[in-house]
Amino acid sequence: MNKFFLNKKLHFDSLNSTNETLAHLSKKIELQNGFYITTDYQKSGKCRNNDKWDSNPKENLLISIFLNLDLNIENSFVLNQLASLAVLDTLNQFLEQKIEIKWPNDVYVDNKKISGILIKNIVKGGIINSSVIGIGINVNQTNFNKKYIATSMKLLNKKDFELNDIEKILMKNIKKQSMILLQKKISLLSSRYNNHLYRKNLDSLFILNKKRIYAKLIEVNQNGKIKLMFGDGEVNEFSKGEVKLLR
């Protein structure tokens, strides 16, 4: 099912989670590629690692998108690249600041998080049957929990933004990146992802084997593994479950 992007959507005043709601809906009815839901507020929104997504009502874009792109499971990381690049391209249309992708799927501006992405895949027989891509973009919120190093479009540009405008452009960019993927140009997505990689070629702080270590971030391969160079010149690759980038 690769015909998609009819721009059909549902909007809710409040939900526990857009990802949970859309995943549940996809089990009950057949959804078209590009169907999406938005909400003014998430009661139980999550980031990766089950951290709570800090978002005030009606101030940020909270969206989950249904995709069915018939991917092999070994290519699952390309969905992270697709979504990250769509967010980056969207923000570039509104902001002048440098926008970067923090491995594996956060988007940063000025060393602060402005967007997070959470992906849920349904896998059958080694094929990703469908995906729910949850995206949160900090738009007009100006106060954040102190434990989060976060920013927003309003904090950066000192003005309010229309959520609907950002939503429309984001969906156009999701479609654009999905078309690149459907054309089997995975290497193009990987190259662009690495070109905008946060802390690339810089000594950065990681948690590895429960210890804090410094290493130089070289690149992220097409399978989503991060390549690090240590002080002695040794180079190794790690999956997102093995190492965490701090700063």
Tens digits of residue pLDDT in 88-102: 999 999 999 999 999
DSSP characters over 184-203: T-HHHHHHHHHHTBTTBTSE
Q: Give pLDDT, residue 48.
A: 52
Query: Phi first, then psi: what are they for 216, rounded to 5°?
Result: -90, 130
How far does the chain reach from its first CA to its final CA, in angstroms? 40
Q: Give pLDDT, residue 176.
A: 94
Strand pairing report for 99-102 and 106-109: antiparallel
Closest CA to 195 of 109, 100, 116: 100
Per-residue pLDDT band at 1 (split at 50, 70, 90): very low
**Distance (Å, rounded) from C-alpha 169 to C-alpha 167?**
6
Tens digits of residue pLDDT in 110-150: 999 999 999 999 999 999 989 999 999 999 999 998 888 99
Q: How many CB atoms lie within 10 A of CB 213?
A: 14
Look at residue 85 and tell me whether its pLDDT is greater than 70.
yes
Tens digits of residue pLDDT in 13-26: 999 999 999 999 99
Helical residues (DSSP H) of 98-246, grouped into ranges? 153-157, 163-182, 186-195
HSE, CB side, 13 Å, CA atoms: give it for residue 147. Answer: 4
**Distance (Å, rounded) from C-alpha 79 to C-alpha 138?**
21
Residues 94, 96, 100: CA angle, nearest 5 degrees: 95
pTM of the model: 0.94
Closest CA to 136 of 155, 116, 151: 116
Tens digits of residue pLDDT in 142-185: 999 888 899 999 999 999 999 999 999 999 999 999 999 988 89
Q: Give pLDDT, residue 247.
A: 83
Average pLDDT, the chain: 92
DSSP state of 33: B
Share of the chain above pLDDT 70, in %: 94
Q: Give pLDDT, residue 113.
A: 96
Q: Give pLDDT, residue 47.
A: 55
Report CA torsion sign: 143, 144, 146, 151: negative
Least confident residue range of 36-50, 96-110, 174-188, 204-218:
36-50
Give me the residue label for tokens 């593994």. Answer: 225
Share of the chain above pLDDT 90, in %: 80
